[in-house]
Amino acid sequence: MSLKSLIILCLFILSSSFSFAQSSTALKRKKQALQREINLLQRNANRAAKNKKLTLSQINALNAKIGLMQEKIGVINTEIRNLDHQINENTHTVTNLKGQLGQLKDEYAAMMRFAQRNRSAYERMMFIFASQDFNQAYKRIKYLQQFGQYRKKQADYIQGRQKDLKYKIVILDKNLKEKSNLLQEQENDRAKLDKNKSEQALVLNKYSRQEKQYRQDIAVRRKKQARLDRDIRAAILRDIAIAKKKADAAERAAAARARAANKKAPAAKAKTSGSYLNASAGSAKLSSDFQKNRGSLPWPVSGTITERFGKHMEGQASYVNDGINIETAPGAAVHAVFAGTVRIASFQYGVYFILIKHGEYYTVYQNLKSVSVAVGSQVTTRQTIGIVANDGGRPQLQFQIRRGKVAQNPEGWISK
């Protein structure tokens, strides 16, 4: 094999190992994050087990935990596939290195035989004097000099190749051991998943027997949410009305100035609720900055989404979640996801909820045990605004994002 081919092979091995290491590290981080979420849900489930009444929060958390476990098994499968690919590559590399070593050793043995035949000064002199002319004699002198140097380089190169081979064999053994550990982890997680699916079947069976009670629970939940939504809409409508009043006053003042200067008053433009909320330069900038952070807003609390945005069916009963439910650790701090002004900090049904205005956007934080801000407070991104409360024995936050009165799916706004 030529030196150029060997260099290309070494570069390929290095780049392949580097990309595999990056991919492996990312998968390990993701797997650890999923396991942390699973552990959190399990700890909350253990605490909620004292409450004999089955709640929708418990059902949603169990479903979320099963989804996380399935996702973790998927990550492990990806790790195993990547390892299989790396094992195949390393096996191929080891085979190539062994072949190269064999060829190099044969070449080195031939050089040693030649050196043995020309080991004495007399034989080297005879080799030079047997030249046909002076030019050939000079070339033979240079050849003998270069031959000695090359032989030393080849000996060093063979040693380097042997080290490469030993290193690759160590890596291959490590890959095989890691794959064995992953297969064991996969088997353990599958057993846990089967256990949780059995628990899920029992829970759903219990739910079906008590569906009438759960329909009543959903009705109570809808009643509570309807009152909260009315308060939220009323606050947003008040903001729109105040902004509209200011905008109309500004237009009348502009028209009066135009009449005083004998000029034609500027034509009034049709306005939407969003344009009223963005009438001031400060509000417009805040709205723009909020919009630019779509997909990268911080989470209001660390945890796991146990109920998603939109319509949900539980048996024959249905309800709509205008946000997402995030289950977290007991006593977790809740943070504002963006700078803004507190419009509501209200106590209802034994818990608090907060509404924060960000230009034409609003964020809602429900199910707080306590709050640390008041109406009119200016908050900054990631500022603590309260402590999460328990819902049916499980600490979780209900989080919404609205553009004016229209509810948005928060999962499209917060970081992945």
Count CB atoms within 10 A of the CB of residue 112. 13
What is the distance of C-alpha 151 from the center of its chain? 54
Measured between alpha carbons, how far apart are the two ends of the chain, in Å? 48
* Residue 320 token pair: 């709509």
DSSP 242-265: HHHHHHHHHHHHHHHHHHHTT-PP
Q: Which amino acid is at 154?
A: Q
Determine whether 15 is exposed, middle or buried from the number of CB atoms within 10 Å of its CB (0-12, 13-18, 19+). Answer: exposed
- Nearest by Cα to 285 from 382, 360, 376: 360
Report yes or no: 76 and 182 within 8 Å, Cβ to Cβ. yes
Count CB atoms within 10 A of the CB of residue 239. 21
Count CB atoms within 10 A of the CB of residue 100. 19
Residue with tokens 């053994």: 173
- Nearest by Cα to 330 from 17, 44, 65, 2: 44
CATH number of the domain located at residue range(s) 216-412 in this protein:
2.70.70.10
* Residue 45 token pair: 């489930």
Span(s) in the chain for CATH 2.70.70.10: 216-412
Report yes or no: 290 and 402 within 8 Å, Cβ to Cβ. no
- Element spanning 5, H or E: helix 3-48
- Nearest by Cα to 396 from 45, 33, 54, 67: 45
CA–CA dist 353, 388 (Å, integer): 10
Q: pLDDT truncated to tens, each residue of the chain (416 aa)?
A: 455 555 555 555 555 555 555 577 888 888 888 888 888 778 777 766 666 566 677 778 888 888 888 888 888 888 888 878 877 777 777 677 677 667 766 666 666 666 665 555 545 555 655 667 767 766 766 766 566 566 566 666 666 667 776 777 777 778 788 888 888 888 888 888 888 888 777 776 766 666 666 677 777 777 888 888 888 888 888 888 888 888 778 777 777 777 777 766 555 555 677 777 887 888 889 999 999 999 999 999 999 998 899 888 766 667 788 999 999 998 999 999 999 999 999 898 889 999 999 999 999 999 999 999 999 999 999 999 999 998 666 899 999 999 988 999 999 999 98
Strand partners for 324: 399
CA–CA dist 316, 43 (Å, integer): 31
Q: Which residues contact 218 (CB under 8 A, 6 or more apart)?
A: 56, 314, 317, 318, 319
Residue with tokens 């990309």: 19
- On whether the pTM is more than 0.85, the answer is no
Residue with tokens 């935990």: 65
* Residue 106 token pair: 């044969």
